[in-house]
Each structure stands twice: as structure tokens, then as C-alpha cells.
Structure 1
């Protein structure tokens, strides 16, 4: 297998920087692959040392400085900074600013950046992964309905795509597979699904499942398997860092809240009262805390509760999954898979191409799919 490119949209963010530091540490044998699901799969995947990283971002913070910030926050081990600093500077040389202008011009620049990256590093294929900040939902537009309508709208200078969807469009036009790790609109438009099929590339998404929702997908099937009826499932999320400030805006938070709540009724088999709140607590920094209160009913109508608290460093939970998805989509592309890869729903809160939310079943499906590659 030739070398594989990993192109990160939001390349200087916390998740991307953590993923890059982890990848460099894995290559050097300095860290174990803890949290990397692909290490558990019986599949022919690109080795760690074959991954070459580049990306786009709207900010210009050097990766070394960003890694230092994450080390102070307890996400990246401080002792790893020295050994990976040269590698971070190499990745830094592959990063590009997000171009400005009419969307048709921006798309052309994005495609050119991807083509140049692939050519300069002699890459067999490139996987584009969106780990940028969450966007608010977008209103439907006629150009979203088909690839032809989208191309026509862009050609006459219309602004019809949110940044996440423009990144997916550019990835497909450059012949790259695409992963949407965010709850933004991204690739979830009929026009982009059609374009992926025409170009012949796979994609997957959306919204990486790393914390509270992961626990829900494990616990909810327990209630249904034991014939216990959940009456309500309330959740509160306390976030710091960039996520906290972004999701403090109700318009941005609505995208995250929708994907977090999307699977609960499906898992329980009936509608359930499920209020969910996200609060920005800047003092938490990179840490995220979720508290859930589950009210359920047992034999003879007895009312009982389950409560759990999940506290974690979200970037450390998300980063290995980003690396996993890059390896898996590269292998899927090589195997000739085209379009949405619903079998990768294991990784997502709102899995495209799948209605399955139960974690055990998602795990089984992923293992079978990966083995077939």
C-alpha cells in the first residue's frame, strides 16, 4: 500500500493537533495506540508511518505553539513535545490558509491545494477529515438537491454551501474520500452524495461519538433488553475551550444538540422526554463534563433512577478516532467502495447511511466490514 494523505479541515484546532501529536508519537514508538480502534480490527489498513498530514485552517497559530497549549491543558504529554517538534514543523509546512472569495473560486483553490499535496508527497490517495468548529444548521437551497444544480449555482457565483459542505465538495472534486467528524451540514446533502457517486469515492459521518452519547448507546439497549421502560433521559454538558465558546451560541449549539439526541428514541423503541443542555464554562479549558439523569420504570410501575457523570478530555478521545477513520476510508477507497459507508456508524452520533445506534451491533458491523476490505 502506498502512502496516504490525511488532510484536516481545522488543522490547527485541538482535535487535529492532538491527532498529529499522537500520530508522530505512534510512528516513533513513543506512545501506545490506546484508543485506536483499528488496532483491534483484522483488516489490511495503511500503517501509521504511511500517513502524511496536511490541512486547512482559518487561524495561523503554529502547530508547535498549539501543542504546547494542549500540553499545559493536560491533553498532550509534556515529555512528547520535544521528540515530535520536528514532525510538527514538517506538518506545519503542509498547512494552508482557507482561501477567500466567491465559492467557485474558493473551491478551485481548495482542490488545487489537495492536488498539490498529493503530488508533492507522491500519495496514493487522500482522506479529508472535517474537524473544524461546529456550524449552525443551514436552510435548504435548490442547489442542494442535485450535483447539476449545485454546479450551476456555483458557476454563476452564488453562495450556496456552508464551509463544511464546500470542503466536502472540494474533496470530491479532487478525488478524495471525506469524513465529517462534526455535526455541521458537511457532506449530508443530496448533491454531494450524488457527486461522490459520480467521482467514485467513499465518505462517512457525522459528529464523532466520544463521550456522553457513547455511554448512552451502551446503556440504552440494557433497558430495552431487560424490558424496563425509560420515562425520561435528561443531560447537561459543561464545556470549556473552543467548543464551549462556539456552542455558547444557540445557533451553533442546535446542530450539536440535534445529533446528540438523534439516536435515543431509536435505541429505546419509543419517544422519550430528553432535555439536553450545553453550557460554556471557560475555566474547564479542554475538559468536558456530562451529567445524565435517567428515570425508568420497572415491575409494578416502580420508579427508579440511574445517574452518571462523564468527565474527559474530548480531544484525547476524538483524536485516535480521526486517525482510525483516515485508515479505514483509505482502505475503503482502495477496495473500490463508493458513497456513504454506513458501516462506520460505530464512530458517529448521527451515522449517515445507517439507522443503527446500538453500540454492540455497530461494533459487530464495523469488524465485519473492515475484515472484508
Structure 2
């Protein structure tokens, strides 16, 4: 590369969605000094000297079935209050460059291509992206809408698994930031093991479950008995529409419930309900109602309200993960990266409490630092 910093590709599945657009715009803004890297754990002192690819070295592309260009999508996000006013025009060139690297995904309604044809085409897109931009490596990050869990007798792979298979075939590390199946299907178990690639997932931990991962260990450590834990989510945008499907909502809620079950040692009464409220757009509200018992059976209640912008919460985590997994690939690490469980509702392995997960993440940073 003639002494220049090697460049790293970040290939988004769902590249024209809110999370990907916010990540691309945010990366450009931070690189230009227009905004601080708030929310990016990898930009904090514990990650100094770990050899992570600089934000300025990231090159973006991706797959999507949508056609709205990224500059226009950024304008929509500005109108919705997700991006600050003036940012979209300031980083228009970077958004346009990323948009030119987006290829048509699938399968779309009426698509006659077989699974093998789709995987081959997606893998070819990844290889072409790497070669065309002279990239050292490409990390595939799934940030598309949640899909329902596949039926037990399904004969075709779900879309998320098609993209994951393409990543394996093209030799690309993979991150699943969604609750969708991705690599977690028996059809890809052997290929994932044989591929020798690092991968991480599943389902980014951005709001309600982040709070659960903090609160659940508190009850355990203070020997308080949690009897019921119920929740409600109000959200709009593409995620709200996708999660209106009961199958997709079930996939999403499985990760939320796992945090409680793993930490508390049992599954408390109560469920999480997801309501699609289109006018909320990318903003969401999450309520939790926790019923617990204290000394002598005294009954007590804790209620929480989390209000936030999902895209702004997710984008810095996506950039963190792309950098961490790219560095892991450079260091020769393979297989599931359990140390990245800090970022996921349904991680590959490891502890469920956020404090323990953060300790594991810091150990991973040391591991990367020593690998240089």
C-alpha cells in the first residue's frame, strides 16, 4: 500500500436503512472533526494501542433492496431529528461514495434465483468491493430489518443466512447485529467452522436490554427475589413495521428474555410487548415493570422508562464491532468472539451481566494489543 494505512471495508446488509446511514454519516463527521465520538467504546483510552483500523480508513458499501440514496436518506433522518441539522450536506460526498458501493440484495418478491445463485452473487459483490477499493479485508455487518425465525421444515435459507453464507464464501468476517438467524443455522455450521473467520452476534444491545443487563445482576447480588418482569416497547420506522410481525417480534424478544434467564437463574413471569407506532419514526420508548420481594417477603416494585433514538444508539456500536472484528481477523483470531458479548442481547457465549461483559471486552482489548 506504499506506506499508507491499509483500508478496511464495512459491508452493511441493509445499507440504506437508518442504522447504516447514521453510521456512515457519523463516521464521516467524526473523521472530519465535526462531531465527537460519543458512544464509541473503541474511542476510549482502554483501546489505545490495540491496532484497530482508524475511522478514516473505513470504506463503506452494502446490499439493500431499497432504492432511496444515502444522501436523501440522511435528509429524512435530519428531518426526524436523528442527525443534527447541517451534518448531511457536510458529509454528502462520503454518503454519495458509500451509496455508489451499494448493490441490489434479495430475494425480492418474485425473485426466481436459487439460494446458491443468491449466495454466489452476493459473494461476488463482496469480492469485487474488496478488489475495486484495494481493501485489506471486508467485514460484513447485518443491520437489516428483523426477519421471522424460519420454520423447522423450511427448505430454503432465510435472507440473513444467505448473506452470512456469502460472507463465508468471500472470506469476510461477519457480525449479526440483528435477531435474525444469520450464521446460527445447522446448514452453515460446518462452513463457519471450516472458514477460519472471526464472527460475532446476535442482536445489538442498545436500550431496554442494556438496562436489563445492568439491573438483573443487582437483584442477584443483593439477594432480592425477582417474581415478574414485564416490558412494553413503542417504536416506529422500519423496525416497528418489521416487529409488527409476531414471528419477528418473537425472535427479538428471545434475546431480551435470555438476559433475565441467564442472570436470574430462572425466567420470571411477564412478557415484552412490542407496539408499532409509525409516527415515532426512529424514536422509541421502553417501559419495564419489575416486581420483586425483599426481607420477610415484603413486595416491592421498580419501574423504568427508556426513551431514545435507536439509530443513534446502534450506530456507534456497529462502528465499534466492525473495527474490533476487523482487527481480530488481522490478528488471526477465528470462530465466535465471545468477548464481544458486551454488544449483544444474545451473544455467542460468556456472561450476561454488563459489568462482567465489559471486563471480558477489556481483556479482549489487551489480547489485541499483545497480538501486534
Contact persistence 1:238–1:288 (CA under 8 A): yes
Structure 2 equivalent of residue 370 of structure 1: 365
Structure 2 equivalent of residue 207 of structure 1: 203
Question: How far apart, in 2, do the equivalents of 1:202 and 1:174 lie?
Answer: 13
Structure 1 equivalent of residue 299 of structure 2: 303
Q: Rate the CA distance shift 1:249–1:191 in 2: closer, same or farther, 3 A.
A: closer
- 1:134 paired with 2:146, answer yes
Contact persistence 1:196–1:202 (CA under 8 A): no
Contact persistence 2:339–2:350 (CA under 8 A): no
Aligned residues: 356
Gaps of 5+ in 1: 143-158
Question: How far apart, in 1, do the equivalents of 2:131 and 2:153 lie?
Answer: 35
Tell me which stretches of 4 or more aligned residues in structure 1 moved more than 6 Å: none
| Offset from partner CA, 1:63-98 (integer Å, 9 cap, x none) | 011000000111111111121011111111101111
- Residues 207-356 of structure 1 correspond to what in structure 2 (within 5 A)? 207-352=203-348, 354-356=349-351
| Offset from partner CA, 1:132-167 (integer Å, 9 cap, x none) | 01000013469xxxxxxxxxxxxxxxx521000000
Which of 3, 6, 20 aligns to 1:2? It is 6
Structure 2 equivalent of residue 118 of structure 1: 130
Question: How far apart, in 1, do the equivalents of 2:239 and 2:366 lie?
Answer: 35
Contact persistence 1:261–1:274 (CA under 8 A): no
Question: How far apart, in 2, do the equivalents of 1:300 and 1:343 lie?
Answer: 39
- 1:46 paired with 2:50, answer no
Question: How far apart, in 2, do the equivalents of 1:190 and 1:358 lie?
Answer: 28
Q: Rate the CA distance shift 1:141–1:356 in 2: closer, same or farther, 3 A.
A: farther
The TM-score with structure 1 as length reference comes to 0.93
Gaps of 5+ in 2: none
- Residues 149-188 of structure 1 correspond to what in structure 2 (within 5 A)? 160-188=156-184
Structure 2 equivalent of residue 87 of structure 1: 94
Instruction: Give RMSD over aligned pairs.
Output: 1.2
The TM-score with structure 2 as length reference comes to 0.93
Question: How far apart, in 2, do the equivalents of 1:94 and 1:69 lie?
Answer: 20
> Cα offset for 1:257?
1.3
- 1:194 paired with 2:201, answer no
Secondary structure, in 3 states, of the residue corresponding to 1:262? helix
